[in-house]
Amino acid sequence: MTSSNSSGSGAAMQNDSSGLASITVSSRIPEFWCDKPRLWFVQTDAILGPQKLSDESKYNLVVAKLGKEVIQQVSDILLKPPETKKFEALKSRLLQVYEESEIRQFQKLLSEMELGDQKPSQLLRKMKDLARDKIPDETLSIMWQGHLPASVRAVLAVTDVKNLENLAAIADKVMETSRSQQISEIRANTSSSNDTALILAEIAKLNLRINDLESKKSTFRNHIRRARSRSTSRQRNMRRRAPDSADWLCSYHYRYRNRAKKCIEPCAWNKNNQGN
């Protein structure tokens, strides 16, 4: 009785250990990459290989990483899986559906490759992945260098290095140097722009001061004109009030003319208008 219980406990512990191992392995496998199915299986095989799992376990782990759209592409296998080699059948179908054809890969290699913000070595790896060893390194090198800046191509043209990986390393260093120089030039231009902005700001301040002085000068001139006008008016009034003129009028007749009701002598109004 004791031996039977021990055997049962051992089997249960083994099953628990196997289940825990499957959970750990599953957490390390990413969701299926529709755009890179072969690379996804390379990584998945690297994770599953050391575990020595059964075909059924590997099959189930892969199914757990498939999204809805992918499931629809393998629904016949999932609903009626083969008796043996389930994992291989699922892998073959996923590669068949999602891996680009050689023609499509060659089209991308010819017309859709750009350096962009990548390093030259990163671009080369992508191109080699599309070429799949079907294009000689000499041809691939020419195609790859065609996407590089002229300054980088000029350096590669005079080097004796032929190995593509070594050429890519050289191209990376040249690009890093070029970008450092560009950053320095941008900083220098920025500094120059800042100096120009400061000069323009000082000129603007001077213009404001000049405008302010011109405004004050104009105001001062207007004050002088008004003062002179008032002085002239007072002088005229003083001349009018001088009684030594023959046609001098008193303040009433000077202001109201024939409507004046008073008169202060001497006043020439009555004398000049006696005949009217």
Q: What is the pLDDT of residues 178-200, one digit of tens each?
A: 765 555 555 555 556 667 777 87
Residue numbers of the chain with a pLDDT score lower than 70: 1-22, 179-194, 230-244, 274-276
pLDDT at 76: 94
How far apart CA 105 and CA 93 sit, in angstroms, is: 19
How far apart CA 98 and CA 67 sit, in angstroms, is: 13
- pTM higher than 0.85, yes or no? no
How far apart CA 21 and CA 106 sit, in angstroms, is: 41
Domain ranges of the chain: 11-98, 115-197, 242-276
pLDDT at 196: 74
148: left (phi over 0), alpha (psi -120 to 50) or beta: beta
What digits encode the pLDDT tens for the residues 3-17? 545 454 454 444 545
pLDDT at 238: 45
The three-point CA angle 270-273-276 to 5° equals: 135
Q: How many CA atoms lie within 13 A of 24 on its CB side?
A: 9
| Encoded amino acid at 177, one letter | T
